[in-house]
Amino acid sequence: MGYFRELPNLKYPSFLSDKNSTLEYIDVKNFFRRVKLREDLQNTFTVFNKYEIPMGSRPDNVAEDLYGSASLDWVVITCAGIVNIRDEWPLNSNEIYDYSLNKYGEKLNEVRYYETKEIRDLEGHLILPAGKRVNSDFTVKYWEETLSTYMTKSGTSVRTGISNYVHETRLNDDKRFIFVLKNEYLQTFINDFRDIMVYGKSSQFVDDKTVKTENLNISMP
């Protein structure tokens, strides 16, 4: 089941120059019709699995792996809360390098910020955890019980520089972790989707999957 095939239709006034009359309509897909996970499912963590997108995999690859059908890629995207696939789906290693190079140019490997290294005393007690963002002049002073003295560390012994490229790579890697719908809830989701796509009765109603828009009689220049 392809996403676009399931979208309902709009009969839209034709503005084609070779149309037969002002009453001629063309069928277009209603991209404004949106779907989201049902609230009772949304609030139940048991319906999802945490999933790490393999390097280089597209949504259709993930759908094939999880549900046995590449055409269910829209289920993967919708349940992951992805709106803009171009910005929110992880790039492969070559793509993230090219993206970063285009964004930063010669400053690709320039230090963007600094992070702490893990520091422990001689007895193995944690003094400073790794990964805390700090200034370039950061220092740490602590009491070394074994030596009965204060220790001071600074520079590369306590911090490491994070380049623009590493920063972008981390942001990209964060996108790899998504929540996906468990197989046992797949058909429920699809059924709900189809119900949402059905039009209600109105003056523009043609059938369950089609409504007619107003003919605004706009003349083309």
pLDDT of residue 217: 47
pLDDT band with cut points at 50, 70 and 90 for residue 41:
low
pLDDT of residue 196: 72
75 is written with which tokens?
A: 């289920």
Q: Stretch 113-140: mean pLDDT, rounded? A: 96
User: Please, how many CA atoms are within 13 Å of residue 137, restricted to the half-sphere of its CB?
Assistant: 0
Q: 100 pairs with which residues across the strands?
A: none
Q: Tell whether the model's pLDDT for residue 46 goes beyond 90.
A: no
pLDDT of residue 112: 97
pLDDT of residue 8: 59
If one counts every other C-beta atom within 10 angstroms of the C-beta of residue 193, the result is 20
pLDDT of residue 118: 97
Higher local confidence (pLDDT), 106 or 198 = 106
pLDDT band with cut points at 50, 70 and 90 for residue 159:
very high
Give the tens place of pLDDT for each residue, 170-185: 999 999 999 999 999 8
pLDDT band with cut points at 50, 70 and 90 for residue 201:
low
In a domain, 218, yes or no: no
Same domain for 190 and 126, yes or no, is no
In a domain, 219, yes or no: no
Give the tens place of pLDDT for each residue, 103-126: 999 999 999 999 999 999 999 999
Same domain for 158 and 187, yes or no, is no
Q: Tell whether the model's pLDDT for residue 141 goes beyond 70.
A: yes
Supply angle C-alpha 57, 58, 64, rounded to 5.
90
Same domain for 19 and 69, yes or no, is yes
pLDDT of residue 140: 96
Q: Stretch 194-219: mean pLDDT, rounded? A: 58
96 φψ region: left (φ > 0), alpha (ψ -120 to 50), beta (else): alpha
What is the rounded CA–CA span in Å between residue 155 and residue 64?
49
Same domain for 10 and 73, yes or no, is yes
In a domain, 164, yes or no: yes
Same domain for 161 and 135, yes or no, is yes
Higher local confidence (pLDDT), 16 or 123 = 123
Same domain for 15 and 42, yes or no, is yes
Same domain for 137 and 186, yes or no, is no
In a domain, 93, yes or no: no
Q: Tell whether the model's pLDDT for residue 197 goes beyond 80.
A: no
In a domain, 221, yes or no: no
Same domain for 162 and 113, yes or no, is yes
- Contacts of 103-109 with C-beta under 8 Å, sequence gap 24+, read 103/164, 103/168, 104/164, 104/165, 107/164, 108/163, 108/164, 108/165, 109/163, 109/164, 109/165
SS3 of the chain: CCHHHHCCEEEEECCCCCCCCCCCEEEEECCCCCCCCCHHHHCCHHHEEEEECCCCCCHHHHHHHHHCCHHHHHHHHHHCCCCCHHHHCCCCHHHHHHHHHHHHHHHCCCEEEEEECCEECCCCCEEECCCCEECCCCEEEEEECCCCEEEEEEHHHCEEEEEHHHHHHHHHHHCCEEEEECHHHHHHHHHHHHHHCCCCCCCCEEECCEEECCCCCCCCC
Q: Tell whether the model's pLDDT for residue 137 goes beyond 60.
A: yes
Q: Per the structure, how many domains does the chain have? A: 2
Closest CA to 178 of 94, 5, 52, 32: 52
pLDDT band with cut points at 50, 70 and 90 for residue 195:
confident
Same domain for 157 and 181, yes or no, is no
In a domain, 154, yes or no: yes
Same domain for 82 and 11, yes or no, is yes
Same domain for 180 and 82, yes or no, is yes
172 is written with which tokens?
A: 């990209």
- Backbone dihedral angles phi then psi of residue 66, each to the nearest 5 degrees: -85, -45
In a domain, 220, yes or no: no
Q: Which range marks the domain in which residue 191 is found?
A: 3-86+176-212
Give the tens place of pLDDT for each residue, 88-102: 999 999 999 999 999
pLDDT of residue 123: 95
Q: Work out the percent of the chain whose per-residue pLDDT is above 70.
A: 68
Same domain for 76 and 10, yes or no, is yes
pLDDT of residue 183: 92
